[in-house]
Amino acid sequence: MKFDTPATTNPIDQLKVVGKATNRIDGPLKTTGTAPYAYERHDVAPNAAYGCIVGSAVAKGRINAIDQARAKAAPGVIAIVTWENAGKLGKGSLNTAKLLGGPNVEHYHQAIALVVAETFEQARAAAALVKVDYAPGDGAFDLAKAKESTDRKTDDRNSTVGDFSTAFANAEVKLDETYTTPDQSHSMMEPFATTAAWDDGKLTIWTSNQMIAWNTRDLAATLDMPKEKVHVMSPYIGGGFGAKLFLRADAVLAALGARMARRPVKVAMQRPMMANNATHRPATIQRIRLGATKQGKLTAIAHESWSGNLVGGKPENAVQQTQLLYAGENRLTGTRLAMLDLPEGNAMRAPGEAPGLMALEIAIDELAEKLGMDPIALRVLNDTQVDPAKPERKFSQRRLIDCMRIGAEKFGWSQRSAKPANRREGRWWIGTGMAAAFRNNIVIKSGARVRLDGQGRITVETDMTDIGTGSYTIIAQTAAEMMGVPLERVSVKLGDSAFPVSSGSGGQFGGNSSTAGVYAACVKLREAIAQRAGLDAASASFSDGMVQAGGRSVPLSQVAANAPIEAEDFIEFGELSKTYQQSTFGAHFIEVAVDAWTAEVRVRRMLAVCASGRILNPQTARSQVIGGMTMGVGAALMEKLVVDKRLGYFVNHDLAGYEVPVHADIPHQEVIFLDETDPVSSPMKAKGVGELGICGVGAAVANAVYNATGVRVRDYPVTLDKLLPKMPSLAI
């Protein structure tokens, strides 16, 4: 199905099942511990051996020799895989560094060997006996230093509108500040994990991966084998946040280990290795310049960002929201990429907008203070209903002002003191902050197969994944709505490369795109059912397990009594994105308390108001938004991978040293979804919402801390050591 004109009335609009708050179908399996995760596939891969990864102890250099003698002689050891015996290996198109290193080392904890043994404990003990002789090389590990140097290759990408330099020079009110965000780790609960087995030259892996088709393609390329001989399954995933978009070392090494051991092998990457071995959100240095009239109208906007990556990697596009969020005739945005020898930087929840809004939405508040304006009033004044760079291109839906005004009323914004450090409750300074939320709406081609059987049940098959977001549930809701059957009459099968290729999970494109693919397949199935029933397909309607047309009504079970009816199709998106700018919007409101003596920050209240098209399942959507809000608090107050700039690695590479929010850190969170549909987005009239929850939260927290204390921190995270020297006097 080609989606190239805005959606009109369709069966989804009935909202009998879609749009209802519905418990997750996979919930009972998750809560009872019976969901089959990748590392636990004893049912399909019995007698599996265990692999333990050996990571490089240097960040850059070359391996002179690797002594495996003691490891091979250790109890239970079956095989040791290195680059020397792995055979011909390629590299996936989405991998920057090789997943099995050697003899050259590209980053710290790059996998250089896998020890396979009868038990995990034996594999781990033997892995510690592998001795490696390195010739360390000089590397670049300091983003700030690389920013000032021309020695390292850089990538400059600029976008200009109008004449920023002149407009900024002539602006009546100016802001010119620099903000930094640190390297961050995904820290999902389930590690990178894979069980692999070979059968007559064919490889099957049960893995934890968000994008089945990408993983299948890149695994085949890495192992130098036909894609048709690789079968990937990932029906349940314990979190990913972007880390599992790409093929990782666990899958490659499990496959190599199983081939060498001649039996199934399972590999779970050790938690202390995940931060350096896998991808992370790169640190940024962002300079923002704003020029405005005395009345607050923006006349000049510049946002430039530096980030680092390995050779072949991409920059963190922290400026993309600034191109679209506020009006302004004269604009400059640009990204700069420094070549660093730190581990690979790549997608982490809301890549680009999450760190970009952490800077932009502080800058907007700082400009508001210079102008003596309310921060919301400044944002409202500079709202735009068109792409500032292409005024002929309107937003399909843009209700940012509604989000801010509804949120302000609900949160009690009018009670906020405009003067910082003006509200005390005992030993606590109290402050309120807000920030706009923005995330582009991405749609991706997505397919599905649907089948009606003689019992009147509908089965959906698609390689879409569920990373804890509720994919099983919204896909079942879509099929139930389209086919006119109760939700319990729908079975959903996900995460298998034998199924039609879907959008996969990521970029908040998964829910909207994958359900649109199911919609397309159901349209074909409806036509096939009507045809077999001898009914007019164009006028047929489906409800209560029946198909009706022309005064006749036939049970679906009767239509498929003699043989199942199956249909397969995909949704392919046309050129509407060129005609309309499609984005999601929101507003975050935060209240914090800051200890007057210690500068300890406590978040007390949180509210998100979101405009994201039709909400397919308010219950699971809310869960996604509050999860994003929680990650935003972590980014604002605690999350930072500390770089050892001498040796080139992330020092705090486990959950003891890399702190993330826990229940005690997060108060009651409230989410409001605006009632809207966006027919330009898809037949579902939905948009993504999962990543909008993190966008802007960091700045809202920082703005609230400033309102509480009068201390402006532009270097994330906002920790007490940055607040203490400038805390207000207690003598009030």
Beta bridge partners of 2: 572
Burial of 383 (0-12, 13-18, 19+ CB in 10 A): middle
- H or E segment and range at residue 356: helix 353-371
d(CA 146, CA 180) in angstroms, rounded, equals 14
For 478-505, the pLDDT digits (tens) are: 999 999 999 999 999 999 999 999 999 9
d(CA 613, CA 675) in angstroms, rounded, equals 8
d(CA 154, CA 144) in angstroms, rounded, equals 13
> Which distant-in-sequence residues (6+ apart) come within 8 Å of 284 by Cβ?
180, 181, 305, 306, 307, 316, 318, 355, 356, 359
d(CA 297, CA 612) in angstroms, rounded, equals 27
Q: Residue 691 catalytic?
A: yes
For 683-699, the pLDDT digits (tens) are: 999 999 999 999 999 99
End-to-end CA separation in angstroms for the chain:
67
- H or E segment and range at residue 670: strand 669-673
Cα 513 to chain centroid, rounded:
15
> Which distant-in-sequence residues (6+ apart) come within 8 Å of 110 by Cβ?
55, 56, 97, 98, 101, 277, 343
The candidate with the shortest Cα–Cα distance to 89, out of 206, 217, 221, is 221
d(CA 203, CA 349) in angstroms, rounded, equals 31
Is 322 within 8 Å of 358 (Cβ atoms)?
Answer: no
Is 435 within 8 Å of 703 (Cβ atoms)?
Answer: yes
- What stretches of 85-133 show up as alpha helix (H) in DSSP? 120-127
Q: Which residue has the tokens 């009872």?
A: 32
Cα 642 to chain centroid, rounded:
22
Q: What pLDDT is recorded for position 157?
A: 73
Query: Encoding tokens for residue 424?
Result: 């005390």
Helix, strand, coil in percent for the chain, rounding step 5: 30, 30, 40
Q: What pLDDT is recorded for position 155?
A: 67
Taking the CA of residue 227 as centre, how many other CA atoms within 13 Å lie in the half-sphere pointing to its CB? 11
Q: What pLDDT is recorded for position 153?
A: 61
Number of C-beta neighbours around residue 670 at 10 A: 18
> Which distant-in-sequence residues (6+ apart) come within 8 Å of 132 by Cβ?
54, 56, 57, 63, 65, 66, 67, 112
d(CA 360, CA 375) in angstroms, rounded, equals 13
> Which distant-in-sequence residues (6+ apart) come within 8 Å of 6 by Cβ?
576, 679, 680
At residue 722, what are phi and psi to the nearest 5 degrees? -85, -20
**Total residues belonging to the chain:** 732
Query: Encoding tokens for residue 387?
Result: 């792409």
Which residue stretches of the chain have pLDDT < 70? 150-155, 731-732
Is 156 within 8 Å of 336 (Cβ atoms)?
Answer: yes
d(CA 369, CA 349) in angstroms, rounded, equals 30
Q: What pLDDT is recorded for position 669?
A: 97
> DSSP character for 260?
H
Beta bridge partners of 570: 447
d(CA 336, CA 154) in angstroms, rounded, equals 6
User: Given CA atoms 227, 228, 229, 234 in this order, what sign does their dihedral have?
Assistant: positive
d(CA 452, CA 526) in angstroms, rounded, equals 10
Does residue 120 sit in helix, strand or coil? helix
Q: Which residue has the tokens 């605006």?
A: 674
The candidate with the shortest Cα–Cα distance to 620, out of 696, 502, 500, 515, is 515
Does residue 731 sit in helix, strand or coil? coil
Query: Encoding tokens for residue 707?
Result: 């309102």
Q: Which of 344, 366, 568, 691 is catalytic?
A: 691
d(CA 564, CA 567) in angstroms, rounded, equals 10
Cα 610 to chain centroid, rounded:
17
pTM check: above 0.85: yes
Does residue 133 sit in helix, strand or coil? strand
Q: What pLDDT is recorded for position 152?
A: 66
DSSP-derived secondary structure for 534-584: T--TTT-EEETTEEEETTEEEEHHHHTSSS-EEEEEEEEE-SHHHHEE-EE
DSSP-derived secondary structure for 54-75: EEPSSSSEEEEEEE-HHHHHST
Domains and CATH numbers, the chain: 2-24+443-573 (3.30.365.10), 38-138+191-277 (3.30.365.10), 391-441+582-726 (3.30.365.10)
Q: What pLDDT is recorded for position 671?
A: 98
Q: What pLDDT is recorded for position 731?
A: 62
